[in-house]
Structure 1
Amino acid sequence: MSENGAITVEIKNNIGTIEFHHPKGNSLPSDLLRELANKITEVGNNANAHVIVLRSKGDGAFCGGASFDELVAIDNADEGKRFFMGFALVLNAMRNCPKLIIVRVQGKAVGGAVGVAAAGDYTIAHESSSVKLSELALGIGPFVVGPAVQRKIGSSAFSTLSIDASNWYSAEWAREKGLYAKVLNTQEELDRSVDELAHNLANSSPTAMKELKTVLWKSTDHWDSQLEQRAEISGKLVLSDYTKNFIAEFKNK
């Protein structure tokens, strides 16, 4: 497995499975995020895939969010914006995808990963899949993923996650707030639930599901420009001494 991570795609029985992996907690560097966005778009346009399952590899963390190594290396606003546009591209690819997307969350989700879970049309999680929006603690803020998370769990719960940026919230809390549709006790139950739903949708009407997707994502057409503006804000904030010092201290722990 590459030290830079990898993304694999399989289309079988009308189910398109997209899996990402990175050796550092399934974190997502910029290049991997862009590849992921492209794969979501490609599979979404493939007539052989009636539904998409988005997952990460292994039974550990679902996704550690953005790459700290990349984050600390940013030295100008343009680089900062490009970095944060990675998650913006993934979220917009999920939103614009004409296929319903099931997200399988087998472990902890932090930062941008919470946005990916929120952008799923149906997200199923393991009981260990606690969530944290850590951006404010870094001196930034969950600006790019904010619209996706707020759309799914509402303003009050989004405020809770955004402000209490140092603490984890349980998978059951996330289910109660609507981020997760289901929370399962074992990895076997998680996989069974994902497989059953994917199978059912793979045998449903692609036209009907496309129309449902349009209804579910009503009033989000402004996201292309909004998420780019949010990426620009984050790209400037990441240059602060506060953020640089925080990441340096975190990496030295």
Structure 2
Amino acid sequence: MTINDDDGSGLSSAEIEHFIDQGFVRLDSAFPRTTADAARAILWRDTGCDPDDPTTWIHPVVRLGMYSDKPFVEAANTPRLHRAFDQLVGEGRWLPCGAMGTFPVRFPSPEDTGDTGWHVDVSFGWDDPDFMNWRANVSSKGRALLLLFLFSDVGPDDAPTRLLPESHRDIARSLAEAGDAGLTLRELVEVIEDLQPRPQAMATGPAGTVYLCHPFLVHAAQPNRGTTPRFMAQPPLLPRSEQQLLRNEGACSAVERATRLALGLFD
């Protein structure tokens, strides 16, 4: 579902219900195109490639590090996004983004990049040197939302992130069975492999679009079959505290409601 919020009214009740049911919602014009352009200029510089010379685009993926330059921080902290964060996570329950995170810049290429498997973003246990042992739990320790920021126009052929609607419910149930310790990424991949097939959604849109996703949403990269590079960031929205699944129903955030519904927790 696409949000058009020119009057500044925020998410409608139908859009919030779509997030709860499907696990994501698309926010158009979440940050200005001019901000995306300024950020992309910095990213182009750091790729070492010439935007006007495709012969310099010799790698299918170029991974760039954390960015806290002004355009990136501005993109992550617009009033429009803050309103949406309040509505999905709850006022006072999230931390403003101080950096945009890493960028997997995907260039047009027929190569298999080897990083396109379905997964859930894990959010704690970083001290383990084996990233497959990093973890997630049913309280979503360390992550309030998964965010997909589009810094370039992304069409169906431009390596849009693939989303698996309703998968946040399956993951919530598996994590609940594992208790506070949660599951490792390796264990979560096994859970995902057992999911029933379902239609996919694609994170397409013009530069300035942001997809707001439940932290348990299953998603995956794909190769760029188009003609222009795709610039996208996937930072977490950090929580001030973990999800509280036993709150009174009226105090639950949309993220908590989605998890509660998956677990059959009702007042």
| TM-score when normalising by structure 1 | 0.29
**Which structure would you say has the larger RCO, counting Cα contacts within 8 Å and 6 or more residues apart?**
2
| TM-score when normalising by structure 2 | 0.28
Which structure shows the higher helix fraction? 1
